[in-house]
Structure 1
Amino acid sequence: MAATTPIELGLNAAIVTVRDQQPQILVVRQGTAGSGDWDALPFGPFSPRAHRTLEIGLREWVQRQTAIELGYVEQLYAFGDRGRHAEPDGAHMLSIGYLALTRGETAELLGSHWSPWYAYFPWEDWRGGKPDILSSEIEPRLKAWAGQSPGPNEPIRPLRRAERLRVSFGIDGGWDEERVLERYELLYEAGLVAEAAQDGRQAAKRWPDLPELGRPMAFDHRRILATAMGRLRGKLKYRPVVFELMPPEFTLYDLQKTVEAISGTLLHKQNFRRLVEHGGLVEPTGNVSTATGGRPARLYRFRREVVLERPAPGLRVKAGRG
């Protein structure tokens, strides 16, 4: 009878906040928690004897390890590819990934720090126009890769490489901000991210002079983060999750900049305000903010009754010019 490999269950958290109009994620400090020289998402074991549910376990160890009280928490997927936690003679790690949101109102963090998520995915931030890294580094290499014949061990896919580039990266097509994971998976498959070389992928050997395309992460944590980013961008459109990142009172300008920061796109100012106000998502508090430096701005709060009035009270916004 073949020997069985023990399986351990872990919990990974992509914990997101927005500071100074930049989405930030919590990462453990380099060189800790088995991450080597690369950043890692916070992770810990699940103890079925101590925790009644997976989410309770996640909230408990995050609070204990970082002093952060999580707000919104959503389970993503199970990540269990062989080699994700390379332990040749040890247990196979199956990890449940989570997206968690917080306003970041914490004291000094314990063994972790906030890091901008666009440092790991610089091609995802279109607020200043198309990122240079796409035109100068990514697209030429992807087109060269797409022109190659698939390897003998490459999985059979319904779309050819060039078609996948068009769908994921909008090459000769349109950019879809939600396809974060698909873009990262394509870059990994083409050997264009450091994790592919770390995992010994054959495709990575084609690019000996490849510059670093975004900051790499330990294990498969950049894949988990890509999953969380795509999920949150999609969720903005049909759930009021953005308010989990806002203070109790805020201006419409701050709300728009937060949505833009998460989606990586600019929004039309008047259309955004019309959508938010007519959609019943917010209500004025009667207070004003003088922090704008100009005319005092009205302060609003999330109108919680909207979740009872509409089945999908999100922000179905389209990119535009401010």
Structure 2
Amino acid sequence: MNATPRVIIGLSAVVVAASGKGPEVLLSGSPGAIGLPFGSFDPIGHRTFELAVRDFVTSQTGFALGYVEQLYTFGDKGREAPVADMGQSSDADRVVSVGYIALAGSIDEGQRRAGVWADWYRFFPWEDRRSEAGLRAIDLLLPDLKAWATTTERQSRVAMAFGLHGQSWQESQVLDRFELLYEAGLVQEAQRDRAKGQASAAPAAERTFVGEPLVSDHRRILATAMGRLRAKIRYRPIVFDLAPARFTLSELQDLVEALCGVKLHKQNFRRTLERSGLVESTGAMHAETGGRPAMLFTRSATSRQAGASGLSLPLAKR
């Protein structure tokens, strides 16, 4: 007799921090099975989803979360996307993934005592359009994407996602790009999921994938968090939750560029920042390496008000 299908709720946390290395995320697991801190919700042992995800993060990494917010719930059956796997589930079970996002602020090497922090571009190299490695990743993906796009509908999706044929690159469409690559079989999770239940089938041809995989559907959840954070930078002053207490305007620009994966026009960024009223001078100077001292700024009282606007992102010409 077949077991009665169950609904399993998996909880995952995307904990984002900033450092001199750029945006980083907190990981858990073992070599070969790296993922976000996660676990399955126990309706008896856990009073709320949020308390459960806090417990998972602390027990798996030693890191105590501050403010967290729910990110997204993935529960569509049969959707073309990485398969959520809680380890103890069967094919008949329905796994619902609930993701949370938390900002851990600005960290330095001395604060890396809890968990393992990793550059998020390690999993999404094509999202960093500032670097040669990121542009090279896109160049490696596009021929296979174009070969897969045999219909007008697919060609349109590829052009919109990757900014081709007159379309503009939208930095917040991280999830759209990842799910497109999954559907085209160009990320390792696609090969992993399609091999399940096909043990008798011929092994898939070996290929070199761009970007490292994560367990279960965690790279999809991370993509969702990246897109959400990038979008919120434009309409909420959320970037200051990842910035140090005092910063130069160059350091703030570097942080925004690192989070969004694009290069900004320096003068235009500073003009819009000054007009926004989101920062104020501390009156102190910082001796930048290799240059003249620069003014140190801090976030203003305006940036802390409810409904405060975000930052404009004037892109540099390529």
Q: Which interval holds the TM-score relative to the shorter structure?
A: 0.7 to 0.9
Give 1:116 deviation, angstroms: 0.9
CA contact 2:16–2:102 (8 Å) conserved in 1: yes
Structure 1-normalised TM-score? Answer: 0.83
Give 1:51 deviation, angstroms: 5.4
CA contact 1:288–1:297 (8 Å) conserved in 2: yes
CA distance in 2, matches of 1:316, 1:107: 31
Deviations 1:242-282 (A, max 9, x none): 11111111111111000000100001111111111210101
State the match for 1:13 in structure 2: 13
Secondary structure of 2:211's aligned partner: coil
CA distance in 2, matches of 1:41, 1:242: 22
Taking structure 1 as reference, are residues 56 and 286 closer, same or farther at Cα in structure 2, changes over 3 Å only? farther
State the match for 1:278 in structure 2: 275
Alignment of structure 1 residues 85-104 onto 2, 5 Å = 85=85, 87-88=89-90, 92-103=94-105, 104=107
CA contact 1:72–1:101 (8 Å) conserved in 2: yes
Deviations 1:254-313 (A, max 9, x none): 11000000100001111111111210101111222224343222111111333437x351
State the match for 2:171 in structure 1: 177
Query: What count of residue pairs does the alignment treat as equivalent?
Result: 302
Q: Check if 1:133 corresponds to 2:137.
A: yes
State the match for 1:156 in structure 2: none
Range moving further from structure 2, 249-258 or 81-90:
81-90
CA distance in 2, matches of 1:51, 1:248: 35
CA contact 1:69–1:102 (8 Å) conserved in 2: no
Give 1:140 deviation, angstroms: 0.7
In the alignment, residue 313 of structure 1 is paired with which amino acid?
S
Q: Check if 1:123 corresponds to 2:126.
A: yes
CA distance in 1, matches of 2:70, 2:61: 20
Cα RMSD (Å) of the superposition?
A: 2.9
Q: Check if 1:261 corresponds to 2:265.
A: no
State the match for 1:155 in structure 2: none
**Residue identity (%):** 44
Secondary structure of 1:211's aligned partner: coil
Deviations 1:139-160 (A, max 9, x none): 111111112x6xxxxxxxxx71
Secondary structure of 1:242's aligned partner: helix
Taking structure 1 as reference, are residues 279 and 92 closer, same or farther at Cα in structure 2, changes over 3 Å only? same
Deviations 1:99-137 (A, max 9, x none): 211123674545x311111111111101136611222x2
Taking structure 1 as reference, are residues 206 and 303 closer, same or farther at Cα in structure 2, changes over 3 Å only? farther
CA contact 1:307–1:313 (8 Å) conserved in 2: no
State the match for 1:192 in structure 2: 186
Give 1:90 deviation, angstroms: 8.7
Taking structure 1 as reference, are residues 6 and 189 closer, same or farther at Cα in structure 2, changes over 3 Å only? same
Q: Check if 1:142 corresponds to 2:181.
A: no
Deviations 1:170-190 (A, max 9, x none): 221221111110111011001
Taking structure 1 as reference, are residues 143 and 108 closer, same or farther at Cα in structure 2, changes over 3 Å only? closer
Give 1:22 deviation, angstroms: 1.6
Give 1:76 deviation, angstroms: 1.4
Taking structure 1 as reference, are residues 245 and 122 closer, same or farther at Cα in structure 2, changes over 3 Å only? same
Secondary structure of 2:35's aligned partner: coil
Q: Check if 1:318 corresponds to 2:311.
A: no
Alignment of structure 1 residues 160-309 onto 2, 5 Å = 160-172=153-165, 173-200=167-194, 208-308=205-305
CA distance in 2, matches of 1:71, 1:319: 32
CA distance in 2, matches of 1:125, 1:108: 24
CA distance in 1, matches of 2:145, 2:95: 32
| Runs of 5+ unmatched residues, structure 1 | 32-36, 150-158
Taking structure 1 as reference, are residues 56 and 88 closer, same or farther at Cα in structure 2, changes over 3 Å only? closer
CA distance in 1, matches of 2:250, 2:21: 11
Secondary structure of 2:259's aligned partner: helix
Taking structure 1 as reference, are residues 72 and 288 closer, same or farther at Cα in structure 2, changes over 3 Å only? farther
CA distance in 2, matches of 1:30, 1:58: 19
CA distance in 1, matches of 2:142, 2:170: 16
Give 1:52 deviation, angstroms: 5.0
CA distance in 2, matches of 1:176, 1:89: 36
Q: Check if 1:41 corresponds to 2:39.
A: no
Structure 2-normalised TM-score? Answer: 0.84
